[in-house]
Structure 1
């Protein structure tokens, strides 16, 4: 096992050294640091009136790091294998003592480490907002762990596709398409699926009779019951399409805090509660009596109550992502292993 780990780390170290030699890499990290400063200031201003100002800012910074990581990591990992094949540097490595799995895992580890560089740059901002906002250790630990896992998933998909596809450009684009499917695609599937499946809802209502001046008649007279029918999107049927979304997983896995009114104090809670709310089926039979005293002061479930009576789904989405990443790496191993009985047309081997 030690020999396997040594070979894997050797491949990863070589990859990382090649990446950090480029001046453009440091320029990219510098731009990211500047953007973090701007985002932290804007988020702090957005939560200025909130008692949990810096806790809300912390959640925004974590989401921004996740956004930049999933946007940059495909470019760092999408040509890891086929790029070396095109440059005729893969074959010399394959004839050494390192195995195919060591090459695959070493390149995955290198792509993950380079993706983690963005987290390293964000550490001062995360530490400041966490300490200033009194972020609980559980929230800090879970959010960082999920952030690291999401970067690993994207890196694994990119490396896997670089071993499956022959052209570096195609594999990079394919990795971006997978990331887009997990982020934007899940939202589109949720919206289209929810609006395409509808149920008939019936609403009954009545109110006081008003005179020509818009005033309630004296003595007050209650009008007749009115009935209206309309269609309601069944979002509760398709809410599961959001489970593989990285941003939903991060929100749903992180422990949520609520204020005295039962509303979330940070972006984690706002996103998690919104996703949890669509799990609840709509009320298809509504009755509103405007003549009843207190009709306009009826109690509705707070975000905290909604969150308490719904089901977490982050582990399902994370499991789907891990399966996708593992399948990509296994397929890449099958396409890269040597000796190869059959090679795709146009494949460069030396």
Structure 2
């Protein structure tokens, strides 16, 4: 792969973006939304103490949401859009290889998405200063943002090379993004509810006092079904928002609970890993049986469970790389077969 030819492909792709009026309109709308949300968030969190970390994490999640919604628009038509405009074939007859075309368009789409992060950077810096966060938290969340922009860009470029029509490739990219963000949550909820386990609870209550001590009644047993989210928690591993929350270092207060939205989401996902107790015995006649039976704090749960963000990133990388390889196979020349109605030049 030649760096000069790769740079040429990237330059051509970026110049097409810069010349588009819609590009600047979307950047302006993006900045206006961030400005509005930042002002509202400052007004809301100024009424509470310790709201700085919540402000920063809220803005980071908002930036991630907006970027994954905008990126498919530019990356989902990177290859088939040029084919429809009859500009891909002249590029393919030059010394530029198919791999350089695919990788160059992927890098250009990634850079395009990073432009939105550049617009959001001043707002994130203000939130970082207001929240009094450590540099590790801010840098980690920013690094995850950059990676997620690249993943969405790779998915969009891959579909644009696989599918003949830009409308279908953009729609397919949005469907995959929706599956990763919303679909994983739905699958987690439905899967955990479907995989139920019967739980048996036995309880005994005091009935009164006797000369020899406390009189206790008989054991009363009851059964009910409990969802088993511990069997499907891994579905959430590939969710971009869960990856962001789980990868960012969690800061706890003196009571052992998270101080920001990152920690709250990570705590919720980590709690789903805990296997529920299916045989419970509660003896109200023996007060000593309740000693040390309080629920663990969030910091204790986080220390006892396994982080999943790196598994989620591996799954996303495998998906993105697979689509890019498939797109390379569909774009390489000479082509043995093309979809009906595909424009060559």
Give the TM-score normalised by the residue count of structure 2.
0.93
The yes-or-no answer on 1:287 pairing with 2:281 is yes
The yes-or-no answer on 1:334 pairing with 2:334 is no
Q: Distance in 1 between matches of 2:298 and 2:195?
A: 25
Q: Distance in 1 between matches of 2:322 and 2:238?
A: 16
Shift of 1:341: 2.5
| Contact residue 207 and residue 215 of structure 2 kept, 8 A | yes
Which blocks of at least 5 consecutive residues in structure 1 are unaligned? 211-218
Equivalent runs, 1:1-350 vs 2, <5 Å = 4-48=2-46, 51-207=49-205, 223-293=217-287, 298-350=293-345
Higher mean Cα deviation, 340-349 or 154-163? Answer: 340-349
Q: Distance in 1 between matches of 2:285 and 2:27?
A: 63
| Contact residue 203 and residue 220 of structure 2 kept, 8 A | yes
Specify the alignment match of 1:216 in structure 2. Answer: none
How has the CA–CA distance of structure 1 residues 305 and 33 changed in structure 2, closer, same or farther, with 3 Å as cutoff? same
Higher mean Cα deviation, 48-57 or 179-188? Answer: 48-57
Q: Distance in 1 between matches of 2:30 and 2:341?
A: 39
Higher mean Cα deviation, 290-299 or 275-284? Answer: 290-299
Q: Distance in 1 between matches of 2:102 and 2:193?
A: 42
Q: Distance in 1 between matches of 2:46 and 2:198?
A: 43
Q: Deviations over 1:9-56 (max 9, x none)?
A: 211122112112222222221221121122223434554465432222
Paired residue secondary structure (2:238): coil
Give the TM-score normalised by the residue count of structure 1.
0.91
Q: Distance in 2 between matches of 1:184 and 1:64?
A: 15
Paired residue secondary structure (1:255): coil
Q: Distance in 1 between matches of 2:26 and 2:151?
A: 22
Paired residue secondary structure (1:84): helix
Shift of 1:80: 0.7
RMSD: 2.2
Paired residue secondary structure (2:145): helix
Q: Distance in 2 between matches of 1:260 and 1:42?
A: 28
Shift of 1:205: 2.3
Q: Distance in 2 between matches of 1:67 and 1:273?
A: 21
Q: Distance in 1 between matches of 2:108 and 2:301?
A: 42
Shift of 1:196: 1.0
Q: Distance in 2 between matches of 1:77 and 1:171?
A: 9
Q: Distance in 1 between matches of 2:35 and 2:317?
A: 32
| Contact residue 214 and residue 285 of structure 2 kept, 8 A | no
Q: Deviations over 1:51-72 (max 9, x none)?
A: 4322221111111111011111
Which blocks of at least 5 consecutive residues in structure 2 are unaligned? none
Alignment: residue pair count: 341
Q: Deviations over 1:125-161 (max 9, x none)?
A: 1111112222212111211111111010000010000
